[in-house]
A and B are shown apart, each in its own frame.
Chain A
Amino acid sequence: METSFVSLLLTAGFAFLVINAMLVSASILVYAERRVSGFIQNRPGPNRVGPLGLLQPFADVFKFVLKEDIRPAASNLFIHSMAPVIMVVIAMSTAALIPFADGIVVADLNVGVLMLLALTSISVYGITLAGWSSNSKYSLLGGLRSAAQMVSYELSMGLAVISVVLVAGSLNFMDIVNDQASGGALLGWNVVRNPIGCLIFITTAFAETNRAPFDLPEAEQELVGGYHTEYSGMKFGMFFLAEYVNWFVASFFIVTLFFGGFLIPFQPQILSLVPALEGSTLLAILQFASLMLKVSFFVFVFIWVRWTFPRFKYNQLMTIGWKYLLPISLVNALVVAVGVYAFDLIGL
């Protein structure tokens, strides 16, 4: 049992590293979002705190920590404090499923895909409970909106993920990524083999992370602040943190499921040209770099979309979810299943 103890310690250390990386990346994302928003709106964005405004997120965090923690008088205090904790814990747990390079992942689960769906489906508790326990109309409305929205979009997301699982024939993220190495260079990526599933997944990822144009649970103009109206100080900061981590992790999973994950473009060709690279540390580093590049692109897309599309109205949100996305994803899953069967028959 000694070996298992050592591997347990190693996993714990790695998980610690990933959690800290996520925390740091959240601050980078805050900075990136504010700067890119600035550029899109033709203004400089934060550029006073530190060189180029790089210390702005740290100033923000200090402000959160130093602020008074206000608790609404008639609220359920235990649940009120629990809700942000749930959000952060779940956001951090999903990070454990990301394959960073070949063989490098915190939790290499055989049911990794299902775990991802389970965790996203649980994260709705955080927002709903935050809205309910605050004992405020605006918060409750935000919480209810989020519950309805996330339940509606989870179905389409699940079906999009199922179409990927059908193509890869496995529920393990590592297998799904390695499966995309087949079929030549970029053609093996699931975005080519399953483009509709990819579009659906990206759309639902926006909805599940409550990012614009699906940010109805926190629509400032209608709900004051949404589900976190009654939160202040670091508890609000935790919601903020969870949102940014969710956004980052969602970009990771878009890349993992549809854009070849950690695979370097043309990886099979490069490996056949330089066979010494196979299994080396350099390859792992290159894979990690390529993953981060792709993820950065999708992080940028999230900001880009935020300033391009106006927020949906609530009835539009439900119409898109139930009348368009769900039927399309159902048909897509069926078509992919038939396609996989047909390709198996002709032996491709």
Chain B
Amino acid sequence: MFFLLATLAVAAAVGMLVSRSPVASALWLVLNLFCVAGLYLTLNASFIGVIQILVYAGAIMVLFLFVIMLLNLSALPQLEDIQWTQVAAFAVGVVILAQLLYVTALGLDVPIEPVSAETAAEVGDARLLGKELFTRYALHVEVAAILLLAATVGAVMLAQRRFD
């Protein structure tokens, strides 16, 4: 299951980079997000998996798609064609980097702690997550909230200026 989802996720990511049509790119990204959500589900983290779909696929990508469809695509600068030699060089580079990292990781000899399905499900539980977020990580949540508020105000300001 993991390999199926992981392969599909990587393939979708590559598809997103390779496809020349913005809408197709966005759809590849949606597929990628679904695969990642599926990976969360196989890890028994159902809450995070569902939130992944709800927030990324359901809200953010819909907005992306909306904007892409509203844009006049022919007015955009034409994307240049893919240079396959560059892609091949990049792929070889990635493979070599992965091999190097793998060898280094083996040399570090980090023990992998086995996590039982029960603890994983417990960590992914909404109740526990909420409790942790609003006690131990309350400051982080507040900082993120203020950042988001500032971004919202900024977006409204920018939109207002165009209409004045």
A124→B51 contact, CB < 8 A: no
Question: Beyond the given A110-B47, A114-B47, A128-B62, could you list 7 further A-B residue pairs with CB under 8 A, ordered by the A residue number?
Answer: A117-B54, A118-B50, A124-B58, A125-B65, A128-B69, A150-B62, A151-B62
Distance, CA A114 to CA B57, complexed state (A): 13
27 chain-A/chain-B pairs, Cβ below 8 angstroms: A79-B27, A109-B46, A110-B46, A111-B47, A111-B50, A111-B126, A114-B50, A118-B50, A118-B53, A118-B54, A118-B58, A121-B53, A121-B59, A121-B62, A122-B57, A125-B65, A128-B69, A132-B69, A140-B69, A143-B69, A144-B70, A147-B65, A147-B66, A147-B69, A150-B62, A151-B62, A151-B66
Asked if A271 lies at the interface with its beta carbon under 8 angstroms from chain B, I say no
Partner pick for A115 among B50, B63, B70, CB 8 A cutoff: B50
Q: CB-nearest residue of chain A relative to B48?
A: A111
A87-125: CB near B (< 8 Å → 1, else 0) gives 000000000000000000000011100110110011011
Q: How many residues on the A side are at the interface (Cβ–Cβ under 8 A)?
A: 24
A125→B62 contact, CB < 8 A: yes
Residues from chain B with a CB closer than 8 A to the CB of A111 are 46-47, 50, 126
Q: How large is the interface on B (under 10, 10 to 19, 20 to 34, 35 or more residues)?
A: 20 to 34
Residues from chain A with a CB closer than 8 A to the CB of B46 are 109-111
Q: CB-nearest residue of chain A relative to B63?
A: A151
Minimum Cβ distance to chain A for residue B37 (Å): 9
Asked if B16 lies at the interface with its beta carbon under 8 angstroms from chain A, I say no
Asked if B23 lies at the interface with its beta carbon under 8 angstroms from chain A, I say yes
Asked if A148 lies at the interface with its beta carbon under 8 angstroms from chain B, I say yes
Residue among A111, A132, A140, A143 having the largest count of chain B Cβ atoms under 10 Å: A111
CB within 8 Å of B: which A154-191 residues = 154, 171
B47→A148 contact, CB < 8 A: no
Distance, CA A124 to CA B70, complexed state (A): 16
Distance, CA A154 to CA B54, complexed state (A): 11
> Lowest 10 A-B CB distances belong to which pairs?
A121-B58, A118-B54, A118-B53, A114-B50, A147-B66, A111-B50, A111-B47, A111-B46, A118-B50, A124-B62
